[in-house]
Amino acid sequence: MDRLQKVIAHAGIASRRKAEELILEGKVKVNGTVVKELGVKVGPSDKIEVNEVPLEREEPVYFLLYKPRGVISSVKDDKGRKVVTDYFTEIKQRIYPVGRLDYDTSGVLLLTNDGEFANLLMHPSSEVEKVYVAKIKGIPQKEQLKKLARGIQLEDGKTAPAKVKLLSFDKKNQTAIVELTIHEGRNRQVRRMFEAIGHPVMKLKRERYGTLTLHGLNAGEAKELTPHEVKQLRVLAMKKTSK
């Protein structure tokens, strides 16, 4: 037996908080009866409706995709471009990406049908580390890298402190490879951070998400996460909120 709001969140209908609001507003029925109290528990045989629409309960699934460049982090695209769910045509569950990677960015992307899990990872208080490797124009000076580490002022506010490492540079071609570790998830954040110090990104890849890496995968390949890997991500995401 699980709490009603948890079941709704797992189905991907809404976050747990939003599910609680739907219950309090009288928009949820269990076995034909409106439920307006939180804490009600339901089992697999109970019939749930949200806004008069029957809830289709699925077993939660969790995947890691090595997203290639030139793929949209969405379940569909009105321009007909390739989307990340195109790599999961044999999966019956209705999965969707946790956050997103830009069209031209490759690397680790999580997909799931567990709404509560996705919202936990994307919550602003979550400090799950994300490691990016960027090929940039020009060779940054130490002080520029320190600026990235301290936080950069962008149009939507200052970024949180980051970890920065210059991996290599090419004097002839005037390019450099830099590793950047952040825990935020703003739109095009890494690219904007490098642009702010005068070194635009030429190529970008997310190498790690929390404890998960691309080890053993080629671009376009995916793997299902183990229960232990899912638990590790939950623990990392909840560390900040529990302090």
Residues 33 and 92 grouped into a single domain: no
Residues 108 and 164 grouped into a single domain: no
Residues 135 and 201 grouped into a single domain: yes
Using alpha carbons only, what angle is made at residue 192 by residues 207 and 111, rounded to the nearest 5 degrees? 40
Instruction: Evaluate if pTM is beyond 0.85.
Output: no
Which CATH number characterizes residue 135's domain? 3.30.70.1560
Residues 19 and 77 grouped into a single domain: no
Residues 148 and 190 grouped into a single domain: yes
Domain stop point among 14, 29, 54: 54
Q: Across residues 129-141, what is the average pLDDT?
A: 97
Residues 68 and 167 grouped into a single domain: no
pLDDT band at residue 94 under the 50/70/90 scheme: confident
**What is the phi/psi pair of residue 235, to 5°?**
-60, -45
Residues 81 and 192 grouped into a single domain: no
Residues 143 and 156 grouped into a single domain: yes
Q: Which of 78, 102, 104, 156 is catalytic?
A: 102
Which CATH number characterizes residue 96's domain? 3.30.70.580
pLDDT tens by residue, 24-35 = 999 999 999 999
pLDDT tens by residue, 182-193 = 999 889 999 999
Extract the runs of DSSP E, i.e. beta strands, from the chain.
2-3, 28-30, 33-34, 41-42, 48-50, 53-54, 62-67, 96-97, 105-112, 130-137, 153-154, 157-158, 163-170, 175-182, 201-209, 212-213, 222-224
pLDDT of residue 203: 98
Residues 219 and 193 grouped into a single domain: no
pLDDT tens by residue, 95-124 = 999 999 999 999 999 999 888 888 889 888
Identify the weakest region by mean pLDDT among 36-40, 41-45, 152-156, 163-167. Answer: 41-45
Task: Compute the mean pLDDT over every residue in the chain, rounded to the nearest whole number.
Answer: 92
Domain span at 35: 2-54
Task: Quote the CA–CA distance of 230 and 31 in Å, as a whole number.
Answer: 32
pLDDT band at residue 243 under the 50/70/90 scheme: very low
Residues 155 and 181 grouped into a single domain: yes
Residues 140 and 164 grouped into a single domain: yes
102 is a catalytic site residue: yes
Residues 225 and 121 grouped into a single domain: yes
pLDDT of residue 150: 97
Q: What is the dihedral of CA 104, 208, 214, 198, to 10 degrees?
A: 30
User: What is the share, in percent, of the chain residues with pLDDT greater than 70?
Assistant: 98
Domain stop point among 34, 54, 74: 54
Total domains present in the chain: 3
| C-alpha distance from residue 52 to each of 26, 28, 58, 91 (Å) | 11, 8, 19, 27
